[in-house]
Amino acid sequence: MASPQTPESRRSFAPPTSTPITLGGDQCKLWHWKCSGRIRGVVVIIHGLGSHARFPTVAIAAEAVAAGGYSVIAPDLPGHGESEGLRGFIYSADMLEEAGLAVVRAAREMHPKEPVFLLGSSMGGAICVRCALALAEAHIDIAGLVLLAPMLAPSASPPARLLLGALSYTPLCRLALIPSSATSNSAQYADPAVLTLIDEDPLAYKGSLRIGSAAAVLDLGSRCESTLESIRCPFLCMLAEREQVLGPMARAAAERMYEHAATPPSMKCLKRYDALHGLLCEPEPLRSLIVGDILAWLGERANARGVGRLRPMSREVSTRALAAEAAQLV
């Protein structure tokens, strides 16, 4: 199927190509945007809940970053886009973390000599944070994180999380019963032209949250919230002032990460914009401002001396394997 047309893609941008990758036991699509000229680095982009690698929030970033000299790798996670799996279904936070690590490994195999950045929005931002922590535990560095309205804390009460967690182990886990602003397009995207594209996108999941997906995403946010201070890599965190999807706990978590993460002060940046949750789906000129800030930060980090580079990763790498490797190195 052809890629949805973003405003940027109408400028005769070369479409991405795809290769197969197995994530969470499902056959998935891994999309690759090639840059022209010398590669400055590799950017792995992880999409949010219900979207996919060619969704406007991802495609706008991918096309701009590729035009800036970076090779871009982005997956359709299981149950999303053109990948296998029940639409919109995520069965565990472990699967999300291990899928993210598998994509990083694939990116390194494609570009073994280039610095690697992770970029994610909403749930994708949380996956990027967890992958960065797992890689750091194994003494594997990345060049930096770009987080757009990241979901860094759960948005439900502890009793609700316990109930959803228990139901996620039952046959009810696949049922789509939970209304959520996370699947409301008007609560996330401000540009009418982009909103039309999203409304007409047949690959985007637009139904209610599935019970198992809600439990997995809440678990992922809880894991992020408890480990934010351990982040050591450079990061750019971008927040939406008119946020309607993430709760106040997630916003507070992002600010706490900026204040208390182990990243050196000169290598962390927090920016706020008068925008909805889908930051890159704002009308111009705000969208270009946000894209420009991303490219400027990536360029600064790519040019920095001593930028982190990944050492080779084996095909068996996973969250548990990385933790075990780190324990052996102590």
How many Å apart are CA 52 and CA 83, to the nearest integer?
9
When pLDDT is averaged across residues 214-228 and rounded to a whole number, the result is 96
Largest Cα span, the chain: 53
7 pLDDT higher than 80: no
How many Å apart are CA 76 and CA 58, to the nearest integer?
11
Q: In 3D, which of 193, 204, 236 has the Cα closest to residue 9? A: 193
Q: Supply the pLDDT for residue 1.
A: 43
308 pLDDT higher than 90: no
Q: Supply the pLDDT for residue 328.
A: 37
Contact status, residue 176 vs residue 210, Cβ threshold 8 Å? yes
310 pLDDT higher than 50: no
Tokens of 15: 């479409």
Structural domain boundaries of the chain? 14-329
pLDDT digits (tens, 9 = 90+) for 174-212: 999 998 766 678 889 999 999 999 999 999 998 899 999
- On the CB side of 100, CA atoms within 13 Å amount to 29
Give the model's confidence band at 268: pLDDT under 50 very low, under 70 low, under 90 confident, else very high.
very high
Identify the DSSP state of 232. -
In this structure, of 26-30, 34-38, 92-96, 271-275, the range with the lowest mean pLDDT score is: 34-38
Helix (H, G, I), strand (E, B), or coil: what is residue 46?
A: strand
Task: With residue 131 as reference, give the H or E element that holds it.
Answer: helix 123-137
Cβ contacts of 128 within 8 Å, gap of 6 or more: 44, 46, 100, 118, 119, 120, 145, 147, 150
Q: What is the pTM of this model?
A: 0.89
When pLDDT is averaged across residues 79-92 and rounded to a whole number, the result is 96
Give the model's confidence band at 146: pLDDT under 50 very low, under 70 low, under 90 confident, else very high.
very high
Helix (H, G, I), strand (E, B), or coil: what is residue 268?
A: strand
Q: In 3D, which of 311, 255, 9, 301 has the Cα closest to residue 139? A: 311
Contact status, residue 43 vs residue 73, Cβ threshold 8 Å? yes
Span 14-329 CATH architecture: 3-Layer(aba) Sandwich (3.40)
68 pLDDT higher than 60: yes
Q: Supply the pLDDT for residue 157.
A: 85
Helix (H, G, I), strand (E, B), or coil: what is residue 250?
A: helix
Q: Supply the pLDDT for residue 175.
A: 96
37 pLDDT higher than 90: no
How many Å apart are CA 235 and CA 147, to the nearest integer?
8
When pLDDT is averaged across residues 49-68 and rounded to a whole number, the result is 95
Tokens of 260: 């208390």
Question: Is the peptide bond between 112 and the residue preceding it cis, with omega within 30 degrees of 0?
Answer: no
Q: Supply the pLDDT for residue 223.
A: 96
